[in-house]
Amino acid sequence: LRSLLRNSSDASRVTRRGFASGSAPERKVAILGAAGGIGQPLSLLMKLNPLVSHLSLFDIAGTPGVAADVSHINTRSEVVGFMGDENLGKALEGADVVIIPAGVPRKPGMTRDDLFNINAGIVKSLCAGIAKYCPNALVNMISNPVNSTVPIAAEVFKKAGTYDEKRLFGVTTLDVVRAKTFYAGKANVNVAEVNVPVIGGHAGVTILPLFSQATPQANLPHDVIVALTKRTQDGGTEVVEAKAGKGSATLSMAYAGAIFADACLKGLNGVPDVVECSFVQSTVTELPFFASKVRLGKNGVEEVLGLGSLSDFEKEGLEKLKPELKSSIEKGIQFANQN
């Protein structure tokens, strides 16, 4: 965030001198669900990103206020709010990146899969809009259950004839953000220097942090690694319980969503070696979608990177997560093709 803020003040200086359009290509980012708990702080963070020239904020309610508010910030992008399904097309037209945090969040006692019945339909109709109005956009799926909403999106795009597996991403960055924070706390290292890949999916045991690959290395004892793994897997639930019925992670998710969208924009702009973990179409395991490190480029996914070497504990975790992840993927595919 510090670097986003620094960049944004650079961007505003540039804008005042009138060089903005020369400094970075025009890029339109659309946020669907922009007036929600994630949508609002994410809109703020994307407004601070100097790589964005047009910020399009869409929701079924509340977007005029959020857009008016965010638009007063003196950074590069022009902000427009769109409300109601009839305006989805205008919100999406010309978008390079579409971020989707639309849908209901968990309450205590619920799993992410309990959100399926409501969120699957929301995602399906928003993706039909993307296929129609901005079929080439990179889609950043935040809405839960990500393990199913990404396959739903893929099926909708296939049916519309617009599917490009390089352009569809489940956002799992919050798992990486959490793994980095929790690891730094235990390893007593500077959190800003920490890297931890997180693979699999985005729900409970399907979230598999690879602390054996964490840098800087700390040689933590096995029981600490087990506890860190569990805390990362339960990070979302920790927030849901602390919020006690008022929703799930919004601020840390907005931060994570902004990091991932920034990586997509950098990739589109040709910045080399942009690597983030994401839940994408994959051949890294036998499952059709899987989260792993991905190199981003001018067309979205440039390369899905392998898993690297895993500890015995991680190998066990990998085998354990496969049945649940497989059934969540199949549930999404089935929903998209039945309804």
Residue number, 240 or 336, with CB nearest to ligand LMR: 240
d(Cα 28, Cα 72) in Å, to the nearest integer? Answer: 18
Closest CA to 151 of 176, 127, 174: 127
Q: Of residues 152-171, which lie at the interface with ligand NAD (CB under 6 A)?
A: 171
Under rule CB under 6 A, residue 38 binds ligand NAD: yes
- Which of 7, 15, 75, 143 contacts ligand NAD by CB under 6 A? 143
The verdict on whether residue 37 carries a ligand-binding annotation is: yes
Q: Closer CB to ligand LMR, residue 164 or residue 241?
A: 241
Helix (H, G, I), strand (E, B) or coil at 187: helix
Taking CB under 6 A as the criterion, the residue among 48, 52, 102, 258 binding ligand NAD is 102
Residue in 33, 41, 235, 300 binding ligand NAD, rule: CB under 6 A: 33
303 CB-near residues (< 8 Å, 6+ apart): 294, 295, 297
According to CB under 6 A, which residues from 251 to 280 bind ligand NAD? 253
Residue 335 dihedral angles phi and psi, to the nearest 5°: -60, -45
Three-state SS at 169: strand
The number of angstroms, rounded, from the C-alpha of 320 to the middle of its chain's C-alpha atoms is 24
Q: Is 202 an annotated catalytic residue?
A: yes
Q: Which does 37 bind (CB under 5 to 8 A by kind): ligand LMR, ligand NAD, none?
A: ligand NAD
Contact (Cβ atoms closer than 8 angstroms) between residue 284 and residue 201: no
Query: Is 329 in contact with 147 (CB distance < 8 Å)?
Result: yes
In whole angstroms, give the CA distance from residue 14 to residue 25. Answer: 14
Distance of CA 92 to the CA centre of its chain: 18
Burial of residue 314 (number of CB atoms within 10 Å: 0-12, 13-18, 19+): buried
C-alpha–C-alpha distance, residues 89 and 92, integer Å: 5
Nearest CA-CA partner of 80 in 72, 68, 88: 68
199 marked among binding-site residues: no
34 marked as part of a ligand binding site: yes
Q: Please tell me whether residue 104 binds ligand NAD under the rule CB under 6 A.
A: yes
The least CB distance from residue 104 to ligand LMR, in Å, is: 10
| DSSP run (H or E) holding 139 | strand 138-141
Q: How far is the CB of 329 from ligand NAD (least distance, A)?
A: 16
The footprint of ligand LMR (CB under 6 A) covers 105-106, 112, 144, 174, 235-236, 239-240, 248-249
Q: How many residues bind ligand NAD (CB under 6 A)?
A: 33
Kindly tell me which of 113 and 314 has the beta carbon lying closer to ligand NAD.
113
Is 142 within any annotated ligand binding site?
Answer: yes
240 makes contact, choosing from ligand LMR, ligand NAD, none, with CB < 5 to 8 Å by partner type, with ligand LMR
Which residue positions form the known binding site for NAD(+)?
A: 33-39, 59, 119, 142-144, 253
State the catalytic residues. 202
Which residues are near ligand NAD by CB under 6 A? 32-33, 35-39, 58-61, 101-106, 115, 119, 122, 126, 142-144, 146, 171, 174, 202, 247-250, 253
